[in-house]
Structure 1
Amino acid sequence: MLNLERLRTLDALARHGSVSAAADGLHVTTSAVSQQMAKLEREVGQRLLAKNGRGVRLTDAGQLLADHAARILSQVELAQSDIEAQRGQVVGEVRLGAFPTAARGLFPAAVAALRGAHPDLRVRTRELEPELGLRAVIRGDLDLAVVLDWSNKRLPVPGGLTHAQLLDDVPDVAMPAGHPLAGRDEVDLEEFADDEWVSWPEGEFCHDWLVFTLRSKGFEPKIAHLAGEHHTQLALIAAGLGVCVTPRLGRGPVPEGVAFVPVRQRMRRHVYAAWRMDADRRPSIRAAVDALRAAAGSQR
């Protein structure tokens, strides 16, 4: 009889690609992963791993069993969902991820509401950029991720996931209070062609969106500063070091010397929750989505 936890370890190795990454994903030590794999190899009587430089790779037998393990674990998830749905109680653990401004703007109210309404539900949260959040849900490291895309640049939802809209977030252009455009009711992005920009770090979805959007307006942006935290971006703006696009969700306290002006051609960040289809009937998922929607409603 194949051991389910050992199959889970093999599945993590197949998804993460290394022993150390699998250990991180499973929240165990690397030696625990190696021990589980050694036991699984003895159970099946075949080598499942082979050395590959400093790391390991799955053998043909390992890949075959990993494919079965993924299907088995998906069926286990479905069974758990059906049992929870039949019981109708919101219990157990739910793991949530969100990009930083959603974590700041939605999680405090949503998690507090879940704790109050469902004291037997353990809620775990973490910050993750949108693409990483979706990958974590697909891998099974998260139960639900709050992610985003923009009205002019979509983030595809991978197969096997379902999603629910939470809110549309309207960003503004943040600029020093002394900027010539600071007193305007609305602005066009083209009017900032000569300004230096503060952006999210390179490689992040929102950085790619910003460059794509500004280029579509007919100019190459002068990106002078990169910062992942909106508070850091606004501190740079307050010091007179550029302009940036700043969402309203999770904005929080604003330093003195910063002005916000809406964009005439309204931009939108579509914020939504995504989870695995095979977990769709879990009451804990439904409760988390309801709590996030309620928290999002208070942002409007």
Structure 2
Amino acid sequence: MLNLERLRTLDALARHGSVSGAADGLHVTTSAVSQQLAKLEREVGQRLLARNGRGVRLTDAGRLLAEHAARILSQVELAQSDLEAQRGQVVGELRLAAFPTGARGLFPAALCHLRARHPALGVTTAEVEPAPAVRAVLRGDADLAVVLDWYNKPLPVPEGLVRAPLLDDPVDVALPATHPHADRADAGLEDFAADDWISWGDDEFCHEWLLDTLRSKGVEPRVAHRAQEHATQLALVAAGLGVCVAPRLGRGPLPAGVRAVPVRQAVRRHVYAVW
């Protein structure tokens, strides 16, 4: 009889495309993955893997068994859920992904509520930027992703995925307390045309949004510093090194010496779930 854990390992290899990827997805070592696959080959009496340069690929038999494994594992999980549902319990493993401020702002309270309602449900979380999070749902590596886009820059979501709005997140401009606009009730993005900006990396969705939005206001931004985390961006603002956009979700208290001024144009992030 085929071993479910070994089928799960084969399924992970097929989805991730490498032994190291399967190990990461299963939270085990690469040697554990290799051992499980070797045992599975002995069980079925056929070669399931072939060398492919420095990696491996599935043989025809391996691909065939991987297709069956995906269906078998899905049915086993469904059977477990149905049996527990008869007892009034929700069970299984729920894998969640969210962008960092979304995870910080939403997960703690939501997961405490979920655990209280469904104590038999296992939940794992990961901080993942929006576009990779959508791809993780497509690959089956996450069951649900909390993602964001902007009022003027939507995030592409492939057909076949469900998209449900959660909230709109207002955005402020964070600036040093000594800045001329620090005490204003609100400001336009164009009011910061002469300032150094603190942004994300070149290939980040939010960085592209910032450049596009400022340019639409007639501002060619001077990006002096780049940081992935809002906390780092705010620390640079506190040091007087520039200004940055500061969404409110998951932001927490501002560092000493930093002010947050609402954006007059009501700039918002749209936060939603994808599965």
TM-score by length of 1: 0.80
Deviation at 1:92, TM superposition (A): 4.6
**What is the aligned partner in structure 2 of residue 201 from structure 1?**
201
Equivalent residue, structure 1, for 2:12: 12
Please state how far the C-alpha of 1:12 moved relative to its aligned partner. 1.3
1:25 counterpart SS class: helix
TM-score relative to the length of structure 2: 0.86
Show CA shifts across 1:58-93 (max 9, x none): 234433443443344444444445445454423454
Relative to 1, partners in 2 of residues 1:59 and 1:120: Cα closer, same or farther, differing over 3 Å? closer
Q: Give the Å deviation of 1:246.
A: 0.7
**Contact persistence 2:12–2:22 (CA under 8 A):** yes
**Aligned structure 1 segments of 4 or more residues deviating by more than 6 angstroms:** none
The 1:120/1:62 distance shift into structure 2, 3 A limit, reads: closer
Query: Aligned pair count?
Result: 275
Residue identity matched to 1:63: R
- Cα separation, partners in 2 of 1:121 and 1:42, compared to 1, 3 Å: closer
Alignment of 1:222-241 (within 5 A): 222-241=222-241
Q: Deviations over 1:182-211 (max 9, x none)?
A: 233332222323221111233332223222
Q: Which residue of 2 aligns with 1:215?
A: 215
CA distance in 2, matches of 1:118, 1:64: 36
Distance in structure 1 (CA, Å) of the matches to 2:91 and 2:9 = 25
Q: For 1:241-291, what per-residue CA distance to the aligned partner results, in whole angstroms no more than 9, with x for missing partners?
A: 11111100111111122122222222221112233xxxxxxxxxxxxxxxx
Partner of 1:257: 257
Alignment match, 2:189: 189
Name the SS for the 2:162 alignment partner: strand
**How far off its partner does 1:104 sit?**
1.4
Amino acid at match of 2:233: Q
Cα offset for 1:146? 1.7
1:270 counterpart = 2:270: yes
Match of 1:247 in 2: 247
Match of 2:148, as an amino acid?
L
**Once structures 1 and 2 are overlaid, which stretch shifts more, 221-230 or 83-92?**
83-92
User: Distance in 2 between the 1:164 and 1:86 partners?
Assistant: 28
> Structure 1 residues 217, 73: closer, same or farther in 2, change over 3 A?
farther
Gaps of 5+ in 1: 276-300
Higher relative contact order, chain-length normalized (CA < 8 Å, sep 6+)? 1
Q: Paired residue for 1:90? A: 90
Q: Which residue of 2 aligns with 1:169?
A: 169
For the residues of structure 2 that align with 1:88 and 1:45, how far apart are their CA atoms?
42
1:183 counterpart SS class: coil
* Alpha carbons 2:81, 2:92 under 8 Å: kept: no
For the pair 1:116 / 2:92, whether they are aligned, the reply is no
Query: Structure 1 counterpart of 2:34, which letter?
Result: S
Q: Which residue of the partner structure matches residue 104 of structure 2?
A: 104
Percent identity between the aligned chains? 76
The corresponding residue for 2:40 is: 40
